[in-house]
Amino acid sequence: MLNSMFYRIRLFPYLSLLLWILPLLLFSSGDNSLMAHDEGLYARRSRVMFESGDWIAPWGTVHHKTPGPYWIIAISYQLFGISEASVRLPSMIIGILSILLIYEIGKILLNQKLAWLTGLILSVQFLWLQYCRLGTPDVPMIFLVLLAILSLLQAERHPKYKYVLTFIAGFSLGLGFLVRSFMIFLPIVALLPYLIGEHRRHHHLSNPYLYLGFVVGFIPTLGWLWLNWMRYGNDSYEELFRFVFQLGSNERGGNGIIFYLWNVPLKAFPWFFFSFLGLVLLIRRPIPRYQLILVGFPVTLFAELSVFSTRLSHYSLCLYPFIALLAAVGLSWLGKWGDGEIKKLPRNLSYIFGGLGILLVLAGIVILIGVDDIEIRKYAILGLIMGLGWLILPLVWIGRYHFHQKFLTANYWLAGWLIPCWLALAVAGGLGLFSDYNPDVRVFLQQPAIASVLQNHPVYFLQVDGKTAVLLNFYTPVHGQPVNSITELPTSSYAWISATQAAELTTPYQVIGTVQQHQLIQVL
């Protein structure tokens, strides 16, 4: 029955992938608050751009990033109004398109079944889903990289249209600079093993339309740089180089060269381990023509990211579509349920994860009974659901090989990996873990007294910084003029100050409210 169901839904792969990913993107507790630091910064800068009408440099100083992400979010504001949903909607849409792109890439590199499995796996990778629901430029950049790769692959298969397709590839990579600045060069370099190693076959590097497309895609950035240069002179482009130099020379948070060796397996659990198996299988039995994309691209990109001094989880997101591809290869191999050593590995994995599932169920029950902390109880619910889901694995195996239930095919076993992750992520969305990142700030700003002040009065910012300040900047509709001290504030005006500043103030004021070491005050 499940075999026939899988066959039917593969007849409509786009529809089935949409039905798989859409609930994960849409399930929400109904409460939303932006993530500080990055999402809040992009949301605030886009808001300044939208409200000022200045789409070049509305901040009054030279900026260190290209404006592509701000333009995307500002257009969303124009269409749907200013809200958290408008900040995140572009990433959601582009994330869905990226799933469909990796499916098309998988069909070329592997086959339709593995491509479809790739789309399912990518959708239930925690970090990928999280950033598909955040207003940041990471997913848009990955979309452009995947579009470029698909165009190059299609140019090989359809020589009649190779000039158009290579132009699209170059255009996508050139446009990537507008979206993610110099970070786009990391995946471009990761493509070089394929572009150089297979050049005799596809001749992409000698195709002038590839470079023409890149130049055309780079034109919006050049226009922005020119208009910036007219305002700020050489500082307009020097700031871009200065910022990337700082990223490349400063290690952040003690994240050493081995950071991605543990962080990627953790954030892509359990799919990273299947992808490692898939990598080993492909090294032993290379896929003709496409080995340098399927294996060469992620290995090269992983090495680049590890050498790059600033190492953060979301910098590795471009690896995740390829983790899904390799995981599909590894999981499919395990799902063949062969004899001897091949049979032992899926059997052992079934029992190991079944045992882990029992532990998660027991821990979840204990926490739900004995712990009152709401946040801890949320994670206990996730553990309980994941644990119950993983019990599918040993049950399928036992039913197949001990009770001789032949209808329990490998597809049921594959579902035992996918369904628990899907359910856990769906519940996480329903609990607000993918949408409500700062509930304290949200609840504070919803108080009638606070909301009334913010909606009806300009509010000054008195040397307020930090992550909470990023959110307050976005959620404060009308900003007062910049000031350096409270003595410059007009009588009866309102201002945000830090709690440490409050102890040093001598001017009379009253505190309207306090949130996370920041106060909203009124000068008396």
Q: Each residue of 91-111: pLDDT tens digit?
A: 999 999 999 999 999 999 999
* Average pLDDT value for residue range 364-373: 89
Q: What is the mean pLDDT of residues 131-153?
A: 97
> What pLDDT, on the 0 to 100 scale, is given for residue 386?
92
Residue 514 DSSP class: E
Q: Beta 494-498 vs 459-461: how paired, if at all? A: parallel
Which stretch of DSSP H or E encloses residue 509? strand 509-515
For residues 445 and 455, what is the distance between their CA atoms, to the nearest angstrom? 11
- Mean pLDDT of the region 75-79: 97
- Crossing angle of helices 320-334/112-123, nearest 10°? 120
- 8 A C-beta contact, residue 75 and residue 476: no
Range 449-464 average pLDDT? 89
Q: What does residue 503 show for φ and ψ, rounded to 5 degrees? A: -70, -20
Q: Using CB atoms within 10 A of its CB, is residue 284 exposed (0-12), middle (13-18) or buried (19+)?
A: exposed
| Of the candidates 338, 287, 268, the residue with the CA atom closest to the CA atom of residue 111 | 287
Half-sphere exposure of 343 (CA within 13 A, CB side): 6
Name the DSSP letter for residue 498.
E
Arithmetic mean of pLDDT, 354-370: 92
DSSP notation for 202-231: H-GGG-HHHHHHHHHHHHHHHHHHHHHHHH
How many beta carbons lie within 10 A of that of residue 84, not counting itself? 21
CA separation for the pair 487, 508 (Å, rounded): 10
**Of 134, 129, 135, the residue nearest 428 (C-alpha):** 129
Q: What is the pLDDT of residues 175-207, one digit of tens each?
A: 999 999 989 999 999 999 999 999 999 999 999
pLDDT(259) > 50: yes
pLDDT 10s digits, 115-139: 999 999 999 999 999 999 999 999 9
Cα distance between residue 155 and residue 171, in whole Å: 14
Q: How far apart are CA 283 and CA 299, in angstroms?
A: 12
How high is the pLDDT of residue 63?
83
> Taking residues 378-395, what's their average pLDDT?
91
Which tens digits make up the pLDDT trace of 407-433?
A: 777 888 899 999 999 999 999 999 888
380-385: long-range pairs with CB below 8 Å, 24+ = 381/427, 381/431, 382/424, 382/427, 382/428, 382/431, 384/360, 385/420, 385/423, 385/424, 385/427
| pLDDT > 90 fraction of the chain, expressed in percent and rounded | 65
Type and span of the H or E element at 513: strand 509-515
Window from 14-28, 189-203, 457-471 with minimum mean pLDDT: 457-471
Cβ atoms within 10 Å of 357's Cβ, excluding its own: 23
The predicted model scores a pTM of 0.93
pLDDT the model gives residue 344: 81
Tell me what percent of the residues of the chain surpass a pLDDT of 70.
95
Q: What is the pLDDT of residues 267-303, one digit of tens each?
A: 999 999 999 999 999 999 999 899 999 999 999 999 9
- Reply yes or no on whether the pLDDT at 498 is more than 90: no
Q: Is the pLDDT of residue 50 over 90?
A: yes
Single out the residue of 24, 33, 245, 274 nearest to residue 128, CA to CA.
24
How confident is the prediction for the chain on average, in pLDDT? 90
pLDDT-derived band of residue 1, with 50, 70 and 90 as boundaries? very low
* Long-range CB contacts (within 8 A, 24+) of 513-519: 513/444, 513/447, 513/449, 513/450, 515/440, 515/441, 515/444, 515/445, 515/468, 516/440, 516/441, 516/468, 517/466, 517/468, 518/464, 518/468, 518/469, 518/472
